[in-house]
A and B are shown apart, each in its own frame.
Chain A
Amino acid sequence: MESVLALRGLVLLRDSVEWEGRSLLKALIKKAALGGEQVHILGCEVSEEEFRAGFDSSINSRLVYYDLFRDPLNWAQTGEALPGGPLGALQAMCKRTDPGPVTVALDSLSWLLLRLPCAALCQALCAMSRQHACRGGGPAAEQLCVLGLLHRELHGPGPTGALSSLAQTEVTLGGTAGQASAHILCRRPRQRPPLETLWFSVLPDLSLDLQGGPPLESQPHPDPHTPQVEPASHLTFNLHLSKREREAKDSLTLPFQFSSEKQQALLRPGPGPATSRIFYEPDAFDDLDPEDPDGDLDV
């Protein structure tokens, strides 16, 4: 998890109904704020009051909050709604970040993805890092961190895959026996993405308590959209043939395959083993009539 806190770019926090991810999002926000970064939050799913609960006043004063919860679609027509709807709010937030290290939290990406076209959302996320790089004078990869909360049951493989391709880090939340775990996938250019699984808990003051890797028997549940394990990998029988076995199989003549050699063998009585004989011992009740062998049948 320390590596997650150090990386920049888009970080997907993939949670589920059983294992919610908002408390982890808040813990990462707290870490960024304590590190002196600017923190901008687009709040769609819960009220600002509920989101800020748990942060102390020094952290709360550093958070720049954009409230898309109260009236996201401008139904109230009070003029207080963020202009431009959800996409306008996201784009406006990109423009208001100052140069320097900044963390942007999207609570949640799922809320935005259900209401915006996936392409528009991905473009807005890309534009965010470009605009920040233009302003900051340094590569955006080092300056900007976008934490996006994604509820994994809500989206199909298409949108999820699109966001995964943009993300530098994916944290998939799970757990067992009341203990939460994070399955972390970091993407680095031209390197194999390392996988890491950690147990963690978020304390009431929103600090992170990391507890190392899980026991062997409790792995996080695989995501339904990732490829499944090869089903033939642990069989007790052999599905494949060796070269010798394949040659023997190919040269085998099937019993009902009639070839000219077989025909000749059948027509020519060979010096094979003697023909078999049947020995019959009649019972006392048998009534054998050689002239009418079927006489005992009631036909």
Chain B
Amino acid sequence: MFPELNNLLNTTPDRAEQGKLTLLCDANTDGSFLVHHFLSFYLKANCKVCFVALIQSFSHYNIVGQKLGVSLTVARECGQLVFLEGLKSSVDVFFRAQAEPHPLQFLREANAENLQPLYEFVREALKPVDDGEAAWRCPVLLVDDLSVLLSLGMGAVAVLDFIHYCRATVCWERKGNIVALVHDSGDTEDEENNILLNGLSHQSHLILRAEGLPTGFCRDVHGQLRILWRTPSQPTTQRDRSLTYQYKIQDRSVSFFAKGMSPAVL
């Protein structure tokens, strides 16, 4: 995890809030550093994590995780991490009997209407352990990323329904958290992606939006991060609801600074 980002969000692994949906969004840049941050954050917070990883392999996340101080291999072996490797399992779908349920079953069906099998997988993965030991702090669902489900043929409402049921189970029933990444292509004609992004934005308690600089690529400033705190149900008191910082990604950390205050410029 990135300590500077924790400072901006005013949180630490010990004081992680519960019952929240965090939306990660990237536009004209790669926001995957945020996924790696939250993965290592919640593993260090001793939470049980179900990671639906549809974009990269397990070893990719593991290599980055090790730079951030967590071992996904150890976490998986001790039962803290349930890892759905989308790239590998998507092939398994076609080589097993059709009657056996699979979380990515929709890949096989011509007219898959919903993501209920994927939801059932998440629900089972984050089921509370009944052996009397409170091993983990709270369940966390991490998804990288939801936009690829649209590319794989699911409709925006089907993905929203999947997150709806995950919120009902993970956030409300089990007081856990959800973190999901959605890409913003900036294409106003991509109605499905816009419905997904806006629909999730309205349900989120925290939105982190990584954007490329409007002036283009820069060696010392890799993008800017906009943080929006929301309270979807409660009236807010006056406080900073939105902050914007620029950032530079380094090998093992990300440094954040106010706009125009990059150390390279000062």
- Give residues in A with beta carbon < 8 Å to B: 17-18, 20, 22-23, 26-27, 45-47, 49-51, 53-54, 69-73, 75, 110, 114-115, 151, 153-154, 156, 178, 201-204, 206
Asked if B116 is at the interface (CB within 8 A of a chain A CB), the reply is yes
Q: How many angstroms from the CA of A51 to the CA of B233 in the assembled complex?
A: 7
- Encode B106-137 as 1/0 by CB contact (under 8 A) with A: 00000000101001000000000000000000
With both beta carbons as reference points, the residue of chain A lying nearest to B203 in the complex is identified as: A45
Q: Which B residues are in CB contact (< 8 Å) with A203?
A: 235
Cβ B157 vs Cβ A206 within 8 A: no
A-B contact pairs, 7 of them (CB 8 A): A17-B202, A23-B236, A45-B203, A70-B168, A70-B172, A154-B198, A178-B238
Cβ B198 vs Cβ A47 within 8 A: no
Q: Which of B196-223 contact A (CB under 8 A)?
A: 198-199, 201-203, 207
Q: How many angstroms from the CA of A201 to the CA of B238 in the assembled complex?
A: 10
Q: How many angstroms from the CA of A238 to the CA of B194 in the assembled complex?
A: 41
Q: Which A residues are in CB contact (< 8 Å) with B201?
A: 17, 153
CB within 8 A of B168: which of A22, A69, A204? A69
CB within 8 A of A53: which of B168, B199, B233, B242? B233
Q: Which A residues are in CB contact (< 8 Å) with B199?
A: 110, 114, 151, 154
Q: How many angstroms from the CA of A70 to the CA of B157 in the assembled complex?
A: 17
Q: How far is the CB of B208 from chain A (nearest CB, A)?
A: 13
Q: Which B residues are in CB contact (< 8 Å) with A156?
A: 191
Asked if B248 is at the interface (CB within 8 A of a chain A CB), the reply is no
Q: Which B residues are in CB contact (< 8 Å) with A26?
A: 233
Q: How many angstroms from the CA of A132 to the CA of B203 in the assembled complex?
A: 32
Q: Which A residues are in CB contact (< 8 Å) with B191?
A: 156
Q: How far is the CB of A174 from chain B (nearest CB, A)?
A: 14
Cβ A22 vs Cβ B207 within 8 A: no
Q: How far is the CB of A152 from chain B (nearest CB, A)?
A: 9
Cβ B233 vs Cβ A23 within 8 A: yes
Q: Which B residues are in CB contact (< 8 Å) with A153?
A: 194, 198, 201
Q: Which B residues are in CB contact (< 8 Å) with A115?
A: 157
Q: How far is the CB of A76 from chain B (nearest CB, A)?
A: 9
With both beta carbons as reference points, the residue of chain B lying nearest to A24 in the complex is identified as: B235
Interface of A is mostly: loop
Asked if B186 is at the interface (CB within 8 A of a chain A CB), the reply is no
Given known A-B contacts A17-B230, A22-B233, A206-B235, A71 and B168 have beta carbons under 8 A apart: yes
Query: Which 3 A-B residue pairs are closest in the complex by CB-CB distance?
Result: A202-B235, A153-B198, A23-B235
CB within 8 A of B195: which of A18, A53, A75, A114? A114
Q: How many angstroms from the CA of A41 to the CA of B238 in the assembled complex?
A: 28
With both beta carbons as reference points, the residue of chain B lying nearest to A207 in the complex is identified as: B235
Cβ B161 vs Cβ A46 within 8 A: no
Q: Which B residues are in CB contact (< 8 Å) with A114?
A: 157, 160, 195, 199
CB within 8 A of B228: which of A18, A154, A204? A18
User: Which of B161, B198, B203 is packed against the most chain A CB atoms within 10 Å?
Assistant: B198
Given known A-B contacts A17-B202, A23-B235, A178-B238, A154 and B195 have beta carbons under 8 A apart: yes
Q: How many angstroms from the CA of A166 to the CA of B233 in the assembled complex?
A: 26
Q: How many angstroms from the CA of A69 to the CA of B160 in the assembled complex?
A: 13
Q: How many angstroms from the CA of A202 to the CA of B238 in the assembled complex?
A: 11
Q: Which of B220-254 contact A (CB under 8 A)?
A: 228, 230-238, 241-242
Q: How many angstroms from the CA of A17 to the CA of B164 in the assembled complex?
A: 17
With both beta carbons as reference points, the residue of chain A lying nearest to B191 in the complex is identified as: A156
Q: How many angstroms from the CA of A72 to the CA of B163 in the assembled complex?
A: 13
With both beta carbons as reference points, the residue of chain B lying nearest to A152 in the complex is identified as: B198
Q: Which A residues are in CB contact (< 8 Å) with B195?
A: 114, 154
Cβ B234 vs Cβ A54 within 8 A: yes
CB within 8 A of A20: which of B116, B160, B161, B230? B230
Q: How far is the CB of A208 from chain B (nearest CB, A)?
A: 10
Q: How many angstroms from the CA of A169 to the CA of B46 in the assembled complex?
A: 50
User: Which of B160, B207, B231, B234 is packed against the most chain A CB atoms within 10 Å?
Assistant: B234
Cβ A20 vs Cβ B114 within 8 A: no
Cβ B231 vs Cβ A73 within 8 A: no
Q: How many angstroms from the CA of A41 to the CA of B231 in the assembled complex?
A: 20
With both beta carbons as reference points, the residue of chain A lying nearest to B155 in the complex is identified as: A114
Q: Which B residues are in CB contact (< 8 Å) with A18?
A: 228, 242
Asked if B61 is at the interface (CB within 8 A of a chain A CB), the reply is no
Asked if B33 is at the interface (CB within 8 A of a chain A CB), the reply is no
Q: Which A residues are in CB contact (< 8 Å) with B257?
A: none
Cβ A17 vs Cβ B207 within 8 A: yes
Q: How many angstroms from the CA of A71 to the CA of B116 in the assembled complex?
A: 12
